[in-house]
Amino acid sequence: MDSVLRELEQISSGVFREVITGSSYEGRCIRVFRGGSGRVKVLAWSQMHGNEPTSTLALMDAMRYLEQGGSEAAEILSLLTVIAIPMLNPDGYIRYDRRNAQGIDVNRDAQSLISPEARLLMKVWEDYKPDFALNLHDQETRYTSLQPLTPSLLAMLAPECNYEKSVTPARERAMKAIAAISDDLQGIAAGRIAKYDDVYTPTAFGDTFMKMGTSSILIEAGSEPDDPRRNKPRSAMSKAIISALRVMASGRYNDYDIQQYDRLPLNKDFDGYDLLIKGIKVIDPLGDYTTDIAIRRVKTSCNQEDFADDFDDFRILNIGCLGDMPAVKTVDWQGYTLRGSHSDIYIGRKADIETATPDGEIINVLNLLKTDQH
């Protein structure tokens, strides 16, 4: 069995009791757990988008932390009631697709409630009327700053609850809590916690719950070079969830102000190349030439919602004198040679190309990229 589903099956009923067993459109179980007995209620759900499993793994890690006891876990559980839904969209996960089996984006279904997954989430909200919500996702590789190019390890957002971007009491609490959580995580994610850039989306759950008075926090697991399984983002997200619970239990968010939230760097998309090879010599039957070659990971799928990160398809996207074009990695390969036809080393072709170093060592560019970053 898939490791995420196996971990999901193994959630024990110690601290956390299964209080509702919901059903996806195709009839898969959606388990709703409750733990703790405190006055402050927190609703945490993960993977409403099926292709975002890091969020479920991180939520289960946080649940295990509370299960394993210890004085801090006991204190959190005495102050909070935690309702957890790991993997809200199992049909999407089976397909490794963002949407549910009906093709509906569950996070755009908070008003219409066409999908059973959205109806379940709304029912749990109505049953508990939580003070806080933790809405857990994975995001594609995005960059918090342009120099150096560093992918966000986490991105967080206190979603808007109207077009005027009002700071309601619920939203203010969420903003302050995010400031507190990012402060807690400085040791492991300094400079790599971004503010998710978003606009008011009335059909999204975070925005809807915020409007209904629940302080909603979106947390996105980002990415890490050389970590295709996102182990480091998983660990960072589970620490962020535990920090959030601590902050909500203690009320420590009151020690922060919303300017600290506003100062988080924006989660920026990177519009550059994965690899820029400079000064390589192409040995071609029609005449040798020296050029730069730029390579980028592309989506093989026609579904724009799939993550490019999930494909190992690297293509040549530019050739010529490319100067200082932004790239995650730039290599100066003067003295390196590339044997092949100019028609194969061409725009749009796979970057499955072999080069020879000045010492005669052969390097496959594709292998270099696959192992180099997620």
CB of 157 to Zn ion, least distance (A): 12
- The answer to whether the beta carbons of residues 191 and 259 sit under 8 Å apart is no
In the complex with Zn ion, the residue whose CB is nearer, 102 or 250, is 102
Of the candidate residues 31, 34, 41, 49, the single one contacting Zn ion (CB under 5 A)? 49
By beta-carbon proximity to Zn ion, the closer residue of 136 and 175 is 136
Q: How far is the CB of 106 from Zn ion (least distance, A)?
A: 9
At residue 208, the 3 state secondary structure works out as helix
By three-state DSSP, how is residue 47 classified?
A: coil
- Compute the least distance from the CB of residue 14 to Zn ion, in Å: 29
Q: Which is nearer to Zn ion, 46 or 81 (CB)?
A: 46
CB of 97 to Zn ion, least distance (A): 12
122 Cα distance to chain centroid: 23
Of 77 and 118, nearer to Zn ion (C-beta) is: 118
List the one residue out of 231, 224, 374 whose CA is nearest residue 309.
Answer: 374
Touching Zn ion, residues 314-333 (CB under 5 A): none
State the nearest-atom distance from the C-beta of 137 to Zn ion, in Å: 3
Nearer to Zn ion, 52 or 97 (CB): 52
Q: Which is nearer to Zn ion, 52 or 207 (CB)?
A: 52
Q: How far is the CB of 49 from Zn ion (least distance, A)?
A: 4
Q: Which two tokens stand for residue 317?
A: 């996207």
- List the structure tokens of 202: 């009335």
Instruction: Find the shortest distance in angstroms from Cβ 136 to Zn ion.
Output: 9
* Cα-based angle 45, 203, 57 (whole degrees, multiple of 5): 20
* Residue 261 neighbours by CB distance under 10 Å: 23
Q: How far is the CB of 210 from Zn ion (least distance, A)?
A: 17
Least distance CB 335 / Zn ion (angstroms): 45
Comparison of 62 and 295: residue with beta carbon closer to Zn ion:
62
Nearer to Zn ion, 52 or 109 (CB): 52
Contact string 8-47 vs Zn ion (x = CB under 5 A): ----------------------------------------
**SS3 of residue 148 by DSSP:** coil
**Residue 86 C-alpha from the chain's centroid:** 15
- CA dist., res. 160 & res. 137, Å (int): 17
Place of tokens 């004198």: 321
Binding mask 128-147 for Zn ion (x = CB under 5 A): ---------x----------
Q: Pick the closer one to Zn ion by CB: 131 or 220.
A: 220
Tell me what percent of the chain is helix, strand and coil, each rounded to the nearest 5. 30, 25, 40
Q: Judge whether 172 and 257 are in contact, CB under 8 Å.
A: no
- In the sheet that 29-35 helps form, which strands lie side by side, from edge to edge? 17-23, 29-35, 80-85, 40-46, 132-138, 215-221, 154-157, 193-195
Distance CA 174, CA 207 (A): 12
Residue identified by tokens 């649940």 is: 63
Asked if residue 239 binds Zn ion (CB under 5 A), the reply is no
Pairing of strands 354-356, 314-320: unpaired
Q: What x/- string results for residues 279 through 298 when contact with Zn ion is judged by CB under 5 A?
A: --------------------
Q: Would you say 154 and 283 are in contact if contact means Cβ atoms under 8 Å apart? A: no
Binding residues for Zn ion, per CB under 5 A? 49, 52, 137
